[in-house]
Structure 1
C-alpha cells in the first residue's frame, strides 16, 4: 500500500515533474539536499510501516508525536532559529495533550517500537530540510522529488509481496494519495511562510482531527480524556498562532521582544506545571485498549428475580448448531453458512424473535447469563447469513458512521423496549455485570481468530463446566497462545480486554497458566512476558 500511495502521488505531480524536465533553468541545483531529504524520508517510511506491522497502532502513534520535538531541536541546531519561550512551552504543552489522549502503556521494548522511535527523528529531519529547500525551490519540486525517492525505495519490497488492489482499494488509494499530496504541498508552503519551530504545536492538531473524523465517520465516541487532551492541544496551537502573529506585527513596527517574553514566562510557568501534572495524573494505559469499548455497565439489566425457577430453553438454536457447526482438522469450529436452508434461516429468525420477546429481567442470574450468550451468538450467525457471502464480518458495515466497519454498534435487537446492539450485550451487560473473563471464550464473532462457536447451546445447568472447557480449549490452541522462535504470541483478545485478565501482562500470564496444559504452563512460567499479539478476522465459514 505504501508503494502504491507514493506511486499515485507521482501521477498527481506529473505536470510538475514534466515542467522541471523541460525547463532547464528552473531545474533544481540543490541535488545534495534533495537526495538527503528523500533518503531520510524513505527510510523513515520503511521504519514506520515495519512498526505498524509489529506493534499495536497506539504504540506507533505515540512515539510519532515526538517528531515535533525533534524538529524543534533540529531547527535550532541546523537552521539557527531562535527558541523563544512561547514556542518551547507550546510544543511541550501540545505533546502533553497528546499524552493525555493516548496514555501509552509502559511495555517491553520491541523492535517495532525502536523502529518508530528511529522514524520520528528522520521525519523531523525532513521537515527542516524542507524549510531549507523553500529558500530556492518550488513547492511542487520539493514534494515531487521526495515522492520519487520514496517510490523507488519502496519498489523492491513492494514487488516481493505484490498483490493487485481491487477497484474499491484503488479508489481509496487515489483518495489517500490525493490528500497526502495536498498535505505535503500545504506543509511546504507553511515552511515557506513561517519558522519550523513556530509550526510544530500546530502539528498536534492532527490527533484532534482524527478524533473528530472517528466520531462523525465511524461512530467512535471520544472519552473524557480525549476531550481534555484535545482542549490542551487546541489551546496550545491557538496560543502559538496568536503569539506568532503578534510577534510578526511587532517586528514590522520595530518593537522589542524581550519585555514581552519576560511577561509570558512568568504567566506560563504556572500553566505549564499544571498541564504536566494533569498529564501525569491521567496515568498510562495501552492505547489499544481504547480501540474497543470499555466494560461500562448498563444498570437497566441488573434487574433479576433470584428466586425464579423459570428455565429458558434454546432447542431451536441448539438444533441449528448441531447440524451446521463442524470441527475442522486444525481444531477450529466452522459454520456451514452456505448450506443453511431457507427453512432454517426462518427458524433462526423465529428463535431470535422468541428470545428477544422474553421478559428477561424476571429470570434468575444463571438463566440470564445463558440467555445473553446464546442470543449474542445466534444474532451474529443470523446477521452473517443475511449478508453472506462475505470474507470477514468486518465487511458487514452496518454500524453507525459514514465509513464504519463491522456490525457491532448496530441496534439489531429490541428487548423489553430497549434497542440493543451486540456491543451492548458484550460490553455493557456480560462483561461488567458478570465480571468473568471466561465469557470471552463463549462469545463468537464469526472469525477464525475467535474462540470456537460451540456445537451446542449453553444452558444454566452446565455453564460453569462449559466456561472452563472453553477457556482450556482456546488457551491451548495456537490461535490463543503459541511460541514461535522463542517468542510468545497470544490472541489480541488478551490485549484488547487486558483489564478483564488482571489489568497487565502479569495478570494475563497468570490467567493463561491457570488453563494451560502442563507443557505450555511450564513454558509460560519460564517466559514471563507477552511478545506479540495476533488475530485472524477471516470468516469462520466452511465450504
Structure 2
C-alpha cells in the first residue's frame, strides 16, 4: 500500500510540475510576442541583439510533454512552439531575406521541443494537421514571411484558442488573403488554399463555401477561383 501511495504521489507531483511548466511557457510566450511583434511584423533586429528571452522560452518548452488527448493545451502549445521556432530559425540565420534562402529550414532543421526532436514541417503536418481536421490552423501558423497570415502579439492560449482561431481566420478572409473582382466574378486567394486544398474542402464544401463561412460580404453566384503568388520575404519590422 505504501508503494502505491508513493507512486501516486510521484505521478501527481509530475503532473503538477508539467502543468506549472506549461503555464510558465504560455506566460513567457505571451510576454515575448507582446514585446517583439507589432502589426504582424517581428522585431528580428532586436531579438537578434538579445536572444536570451526567446532561448529561455524554448528551453522551458524542451521538457514539456502534452498529450493530444488534452486537445486545447496540445494545440495551443504546438502553435506557439511553431511560431517561436520559426523566429528562432530566422534569428539563427540573421540577417536574412527569406526563410527559403536556407535549405531545409522547414523540413530538415530539427529542434528539441515538447519532449521530442522535430522539424517545423512535422509540427504543422503531423502533430497538428495530422491529428486534427482544423483548417483554421493555416491562419495562426506563421512561416516568417509576408505572405503568411499576420503574427499576433499574443500567445495562443487553451482557454481562448477557439476564439483566436476564429478571429484570425475572419481577419484573413476579409483581408489580404483574398482579392475579389466583382465585375468579372473572379476571386484570387493565397496559395495556402492551393497547397492545402484538402483542408478547405472538407464536409462537402468547396473553397468558395469555406470563404463564405467567414467573409462578411458573401460571394454570391458562380466565381472563378485562382491563386496569387506567395510572398516569401521575411516579415520583419
What is the TM-score of this pair, normalised by structure 1?
A: 0.38
CA distance in structure 1 between the partners assigned to 2:133 and 2:66 by the alignment: 19
The reply to whether residue 483 of structure 1 matches residue 190 of structure 2 is no
Q: Deviations over 1:401-459 (max 9, x none)?
A: xxxxxx01124223466321000000011002111000111100011110111110010
Q: Which position in structure 2 is the counterpart of 1:470?
A: 168
Cα contact 2:61–2:114 (8 A) shared by 1: no
CA distance in structure 1 between the partners assigned to 2:151 and 2:46 by the alignment: 17
Specify which of 425, 443, 454 is matched with residue 152 of structure 2. 454
CA distance in structure 1 between the partners assigned to 2:197 and 2:69 by the alignment: 31
Superposition pairs of residues 143-292 of structure 1, within 5 angstroms: none
Q: Which position in structure 2 is the counterpart of 1:385?
A: 91
Specify which of 321, 339, 343 is matched with residue 46 of structure 2. 339
The reply to whether residue 538 of structure 1 matches residue 237 of structure 2 is no
Q: Which runs of 5+ in 2 are unaligned?
A: 1-14
Relative distance call for 1:416 and 1:475 in structure 2 (3 A) is: closer
Q: Deviations over 1:288-333 (max 9, x none)?
A: xxxxxxxxxxxxxxxxxxxx78362222221121111111xxxxx1
Instruction: Name the SS of the counterpart of 2:187 in structure 1.
Output: strand
Q: Deviations over 1:70-110 (max 9, x none)?
A: xxxxxxxxxxxxxxxxxxxxxxxxxxxxxxxxxxxxxxxxx
Q: Which position in structure 2 is the counterpart of 1:525?
A: 220
Offset of residue 341 of structure 1: 5.7
Specify which of 69, 82, 98 is matched with residue 376 of structure 1. 82
Q: Which position in structure 1 is the counterpart of 2:6?
A: none
The reply to whether residue 396 of structure 1 matches residue 108 of structure 2 is no
CA distance in structure 1 between the partners assigned to 2:68 and 2:178 by the alignment: 39
Q: Deviations over 1:376-415 (max 9, x none)?
A: 0000011111111111111122x2xxxxxxx011242234
Cα contact 1:447–1:538 (8 A) shared by 2: yes
What is the TM-score of this pair, normalised by structure 2?
A: 0.83
The structure carrying a bigger helix percent of its residues is 1
CA distance in structure 2 between the partners assigned to 1:526 and 1:393 by the alignment: 39
CA distance in structure 2 between the partners assigned to 1:415 and 1:377 by the alignment: 13
CA distance in structure 1 between the partners assigned to 2:82 and 2:68 by the alignment: 19
Q: Flag the structure with more relative contact order, 1 or 2, with Cα contacts below 8 A and sequence separation at least 6.
A: 2
Cα contact 2:44–2:91 (8 A) shared by 1: yes
Offset of residue 502 of structure 1: 0.8
Relative distance call for 1:502 and 1:334 in structure 2 (3 A) is: same
Q: Deviations over 1:7-50 (max 9, x none)?
A: xxxxxxxxxxxxxxxxxxxxxxxxxxxxxxxxxxxxxxxxxxxx
Instruction: Name the SS of the counterpart of 2:129 in structure 1.
Output: helix
Q: Which position in structure 1 is the counterpart of 2:196?
A: 497
Offset of residue 363 of structure 1: 7.5
